[in-house]
Amino acid sequence: MRVLLARQDNLGDVLLAGPAVRAVAARADEVVLLCGPRGRAAADLLPGVDEVIEWRAPWIDPEPDPVDRADIEAAVAKLAGFDRALILTSFHQSPLPLALLLRLVGTPWIGGISEDYPGSLLDLRHRPEGDVPEPLRMLALAEDAGFPAPADTRLRVREPLPDTDHLTGGAGYVVVHPGTSVPARAWPPERCAEAVRLLRAAGHRVVVTGHGEEKELTALVAGEDGLDLGGRTALPELASVLHGARAVVAGNTGPAHLAAAVGTPVVSLFAPTVPAARWAPFGVPMALLGDQGAPCKDSRARVCPVEGHPCLASVGADEVAAAVEVVAADPRGAPPEEAPAR
C-alpha cells in the first residue's frame, strides 16, 4: 500500500505530524510526505518518511505566489499512483483543494479533517472536538483511517544526529532561541539578552541559536555571556545542539517543537495568538510563560495588534531563568549523559 500524507505549512507543523506519519508507516509499504518549502527540512528529519514531494500550495503558504495553471498541473503530475491519501491540516486550513487535485489523478481513498461539506472529495471526514494538541489531532485522523497509534506518541527525528560538540563544547548547556517566524510570537530581544546574562550568572553555559538571517539578533542576545551559533547550523545540526541542552528557551516557533522532538525540556514564551492547548511544545517537561488571556488571544496575528506587546513583554528575564531551573530539574531534563535513552 502506497500512502500519501500531506502537511504543507511550516517546519514546526511538519514536526508535529510525526506521530501520525509513524502510525501510517507501521502498516504501509511506502509513505510519501507532501510538504511546502517552509517545512521541507523538517520533512527530511521525520522517521517513517520514504520520499518527500515539495510544493508550495497557494491556499496554505502565508506568502503564496499567484495561482499558476502550469504549476498546478506539474504538482498534480507528482500526485498520481497512491492507494490512500491523508491530508493533515490545522484547524484554520481546508483539505478540500488538495482533495480535489487528488481526485483528478484518481486517488481512490482520501481522508481529512473538514468542517465544510466535502461532497465526494473525502472518503473519511474526521471531525475532532475541543482543543486537542496538534500531534494528537493529526494522529486521530490516522487512527480513524485504520492506522493504530504508535506505542510512543511523542515527537521524534531520524537518528543518528550529527556531532556538534565542536560547536557547543559538549552537552549540558541551556539554549536560548530568540527568533520566531512572525513578530507577534517574539519575546523582546533585550529580555532575551537579560535572560542570557542571568543564566550565565547562575552558572549555566548558554548557547544562542538562530538561522542565517538572524545573525544580528543572535549576536545581540548572546552578548559577552552566551555562545552565538546564529547561522552556523542547518536543521540536523540544530536538532543535535538542542538535544545536548538541559533546557531550551524559545517562543512558539519551529525550534521549540524540534527541541521536543529530541526530548529536551522547553521554557515556552507563548503568545496567545493561537491556543497553547494545541500548539505548546508536546511530550516534554515544559513551562508556559506569557499572558494567555491577553487581548490578542486567538487572533492569529502575525504582527502584535496591541501596543507594547504585553502578552510577552510582561514576562521578566528572572521568570525565565527560574523556569529553566524547574524544567531542567525534571528527571527527563537531566544532562544527556545522565538521562535515559531518548
Whether 156 is in a domain gets the answer no
Q: Are 20 and 3 in contact (CB under 8 A)?
A: no
Give the CATH number, domain containing residue 281. 3.40.50.2000
Q: Are 39 and 62 in contact (CB under 8 A)?
A: no
- Phi and psi torsions of 108, nearest 5°: -75, -20
Asked if 119 and 200 sit in the same domain, the reply is no
Residue with cell 494567555: 292
pLDDT band at 91 (very low <50, low <70, confident <90, very high): confident
Asked if 203 and 59 sit in the same domain, the reply is no
Per-residue pLDDT at 330 exceeds 90: no
At 173, list the grid cell. Answer: 548547556
pLDDT in tens, 41-61: 999 999 999 999 999 999 999
- What confidence score (pLDDT) does residue 334 get? 44
Asked if 177 and 65 sit in the same domain, the reply is no
Residue with cell 481522508: 111
**Which of 181, 18, 148 is CA-nearest to residue 88?**
18
Per-residue pLDDT at 141 exceeds 50: yes
Asked if 213 and 262 sit in the same domain, the reply is yes
- What confidence score (pLDDT) does residue 337 get? 35
Q: Residue 260 belongs to what domain range?
A: 165-333
Asked if 79 and 217 sit in the same domain, the reply is no
Q: What mean pLDDT is predicted for residues 328-338? A: 55
- What confidence score (pLDDT) does residue 332 get? 52
At 55, list the grid cell. Answer: 510544493
- What confidence score (pLDDT) does residue 331 get? 61
pLDDT band at 333 (very low <50, low <70, confident <90, very high): very low
Q: Could you give the angle at which helices 189-201 and 317-329 cross, rounded to 10 degrees?
A: 50
Q: pLDDT averaged over the chain?
A: 94
Q: What mean pLDDT is predicted for residues 319-326? A: 98
Whether 158 is in a domain gets the answer no
